[in-house]
Homo-oligomer: A and B are copies of this chain.
C-alpha cells in the first residue's frame, strides 16, 4: 500500500510532527513510536521512513517548536512601532499570547520541558535562548526594566506548568502595565528603594 489518501509526503511529515507534539505532551518523551505513528494515521515503518530515528524525530520537533515561538514573536512585532523596546513588547505579547492562542503557548511550554530531557535539544534551546537574550539586550531598554519585563513574561507563561490558573483579570492588567512600562521605562526608576 503506497500513498493511501490524497496526502502528499510533506503533509505526512507535518502530520507526524504534529502527532509527536500531541503524544509526547500527553504521555511524555518515552511515548512509543508506534503510538505517534498511529496518531498520525501512519505505521511505525512509515514514520521511520520520514525520520531515521526517534532522536531525529524529537530533534526535528524541537526545531519546529523553537521556530514556531520565534514566528510568534515576529508576528507580534508591531510594524508601526519603531520606539525602543519594540522587540521586548513583541516578546511579551508572544509569551503571554492573545486569548485565542493561549492554550497553544501553554501546551508548547509543557512540550518543550519534555523535549529538554534530550541533551541535544537542551543545547539547541540554550543556544536559542542566548540568541534571543542578545537580541532583547539590544532592544534599547534599560537593563533593569528589561530584566523585570522578561522575568514577568517568563513567569506568566511558565506558571501553568505548575498547574496555576492563567489569564486572570490581574494577568491581563499586568500585561498592559508591563507594555506601558516599556514605553516609559523611566517610571521604573521611581520605585528605587
Chain A residues with CB under 8 Å of chain B are 28-30, 113-114, 116-117, 122, 125-127, 129-130, 133, 143-144, 146-148, 150-156, 158-159, 161-165, 168, 170-171, 173-174, 176-177, 180-181, 187-188, 190-193
Contact = CB atoms under 8 A, between A and B. Distances in A.
B151 A116 contact: no
A173 to B, nearest CB: 6
B176 A187 contact: no
A93 to B, nearest CB: 15
A26 B173 CA distance: 39
Contacts of A174: 144, 147-148, 151
A143 B177 CA distance: 14
A125 to B, nearest CB: 6
A123 to B, nearest CB: 8
A28 B187 CA distance: 44
Contacts of A190: 187, 190
Nearest to A171: B147
A116 B161 contact: yes
Contact of A163 (B28, B125, B191, B192): B125
Contact of A151 (B28, B143, B152): B152
B147 A170 contact: yes
18 contacts: A29-B117, A113-B113, A113-B161, A114-B117, A129-B164, A130-B163, A130-B164, A133-B165, A143-B170, A144-B174, A146-B170, A147-B170, A148-B174, A150-B155, A150-B159, A154-B155, A155-B155, A176-B193
Given A30-B30, A146-B170, 17 more contacts: A28-B117, A125-B162, A130-B164, A147-B168, A147-B174, A148-B174, A151-B153, A151-B156, A151-B159, A151-B174, A152-B155, A153-B155, A154-B155, A154-B158, A177-B188, A180-B191, A187-B191
